Amino acid sequence: MCKILKVLLFIMAVVIFAFSSGCKTEEIHYGVLGKSIGPYWEVVKKGAEDAGKELNVKVMVFLPQKEDIPKQVETVETWISMGFKGMAIAPSDPEALVSPINSAMERNIPILTIDTDSPNSNRICYIGTDNYTAGKIAGEKMAEILRGQGKVAIATGSLTAMNSIERMKGFRDAIKEYPEIEIIKPILCDNEETSKAVELAEIAILNNPDLDAFFGVYVFNGPSAAKAVESAGKEGEIHIVSFDVTDEHLKLINEGLIDATIAQKQYMMGYEGVKIIHKINKNGLESTLDSLPKNEDGDYIIDTGVEVVTKENLEEYLELMDKWGVEHTFQL
Ligand code: BGC
């Protein structure tokens, strides 16, 4: 009898423990706010969710349909009122997000920026690509491909997000060294609508019969330009330097339609974003900041780095993707 009672008490204790730790998990919610749906952000989402599983916390990832500044502001405000304990945000407009970021920080909700920054806000740190440098790398690659001469169109998904602005600035600064390369106007901006991206690239080819290249700033732009180049029958004549890696990019690089792409490490943006928010909540802000890299202005920036992928190093890059556990259906 006494034995049965002991067993019962043990079972009850296990149930109570499981229930109470279950409740604890429910209490911690972190939010990750991206800029749009699509293959690039799926990888960020996976990184954030993997970190959430490791830490046993709930991570909600929200991706607007396309670049949508009011929706981002509304999402941060909603998450504040829902009592989220931290957020990693990719602002579609650095200034428009200052007020919601600061109001979260005033309520002791730690906010980090990932992928694209809002440096005038009180965010704690930025985790992502050094976009100016990455844009410069793209510009240098373009100049090499064009042998210092030609007409280039720039296509992007945003004219407000800081990463897009910085990439274009870095690109232009690199191109300045080559007076015989002309960047045509206007910038082709699709607000991350793929069909519009293709249409704009087609119009640019029609209006500029002597166009030599596209610089694709966002994930859709390289493949969209490739579609336009193909339908104009100008394969090999119009070059493409793009950003990001999807299966489509890998295939187009292999086919020679995309000459080079700047691959970002967006899995780490989601993964590290959640990990650092959690560290702040567990160990406090000061001790977390001590473990983060600080630049000469005293700002906390985690540069996740980039790789330049071309047909020459495609095989090595696929091996790297396998090593990192990044899924791809494209095989050589
Ligand atoms: C990324 C891009 C990506 C885009 C798509 C950006 O913020 O850095 O490279 O293509 O989001 O939404």
How far does residue 36's CA lie from ligand 1's centre (Å)?
Answer: 8
pLDDT over 50 (residue 199): yes
210-226 pLDDT, tens digit per residue, is 999 999 999 999 999 99
Instruction: Tell me the CA distances in angstroms from 196 to 1, 113, 212, 215, 266, one per residue in order.
Output: 76, 28, 21, 16, 25
CA 74 to ligand 1 centroid distance, Å: 21
Number of H helices, E strands in the chain: 12, 13
Q: Is the dihedral of CA 140, 300, 278, 109 positive or negative?
A: negative
Q: How far is Cα 18 from Cα 211, in angstroms, rounded to an integer? A: 65
Average pLDDT of span 20-38: 76
What is the pLDDT, as a whole number, of residue 324?
A: 83
Q: Bin 123: left if φ > 0, else alpha if -120 < ψ < 50, else beta.
A: beta
Tokens of 263: 């691959």
Q: How far is the CA of 114 from the centre of ligand 1 (A)?
A: 11
Q: How much is the pLDDT for 310?
A: 98
Neighbours of 323 (CB within 10 A): 8
Sign of CA pseudo-dihedral 312, 313, 316, 322: negative
Give nearest CA residue, ligand 1 atom 12: 36
User: Can you give the pLDDT at residue 327?
Assistant: 87
With a cut of 70, say whether residue 29 has pLDDT above it: yes
State percent of the chain over pLDDT 70.
92
Taking all residues of the chain, what is their mean pLDDT, rounded to a whole number?
A: 93
Q: Convert the pLDDT of each residue in 63-109 to its tens digit.
A: 999 999 999 999 999 999 999 999 999 999 999 999 999 999 999 99
Take atom 8 of ligand 1 and give the residue whose Cα is closest. Answer: 115
Ligand 1 nearest atom to the CA of residue 129, by list position: 8
Q: Over the range 83-116, which residues count as b (16 or more CB within 10 Å of their CB) and which as e?
A: ebbbbbbbbbbbeebbebbbebeeeebbbbbbbb
Q: How far apart are CA 85 and CA 65, in angstroms?
A: 25
Going by pLDDT thresholds of 50, 70 and 90, the confidence category of residue 33 is very high
Could you tell me which of 84, 24, 94, 77 has the C-alpha nearest to residue 55? 24
In tens, the pLDDT along 148-177 reads 999 999 999 999 999 999 999 999 999 999
Q: What is the pTM of this model?
A: 0.90
The helix/strand/coil state of 32 is strand
Q: Which H or E run contains 142? A: helix 131-145
Q: Is the pLDDT of residue 121 over 80?
A: yes
Element (H, E) at 50: helix 39-55
Q: Which residues, 6+ apart, have CB-to-CB distance to 143 below 8 Å?
A: 174, 175, 177, 178, 181
For residue 218, give the ligand 1 atom closest to its CA.
10
Candidate from 193, 219, 246, 264 with most ligand 1 atoms within 8 A of CB, to mutate: 219
Question: What is the number of the ligand 1 atom nearest to the C-alpha of 67?
Answer: 12
Q: Assess whether pLDDT exceeds 90 at residue 11.
A: no
Predicted confidence at residue 28, as pLDDT, reads 86
* Helix-, strand-, coil-residue percentages of the chain, each rounded to 5: 50, 15, 35
Taking only the tens place, the pLDDT of each residue in 271-330 is 999 999 999 999 999 999 999 999 999 999 999 999 999 999 999 999 999 988 888 999
pLDDT at residue 23 tops 50: no
Ligand 1 centroid from CA 218, angstroms? 5
d(CA 1, CA 12): 16
Ligand 1 pocket test, pick from 89, 217, 218, 267 with the greatest ligand atom count within 8 Å of Cβ, gives 218
Percent of the chain with pLDDT over 90: 89
What does the pLDDT read at residue 26? 54
CA of 158 to the centre of ligand 1 (A): 9
Q: Are 113 and 162 in contact (CB under 8 A)?
A: no
| pLDDT, position 201 | 98
* Range 214-242 average pLDDT: 98
Q: Is 224 exposed, middle or buried (0-12, 13-18, 19+ CB in 10 A)?
A: buried
281 Cα to the center of ligand 1, angstroms: 28
Cβ 127 vs Cβ 272: under 8 Å: yes
208: exposed, middle or buried (Cβ count in 10 Å: 0-12, 13-18, 19+): middle
**CA 24 to chain centroid:** 30
How crowded is residue 68: how many other Cβ atoms within 10 Å of its Cβ? 17
What is the band of 12 on the pLDDT scale with cuts at 50, 70, 90?
low
Pocket residues for ligand 1 (CB within 6 Å)? 35-36, 38, 40-41, 90, 115-116, 157, 163, 192, 218-219, 243-244
Task: State the pLDDT at residue 22.
Answer: 44
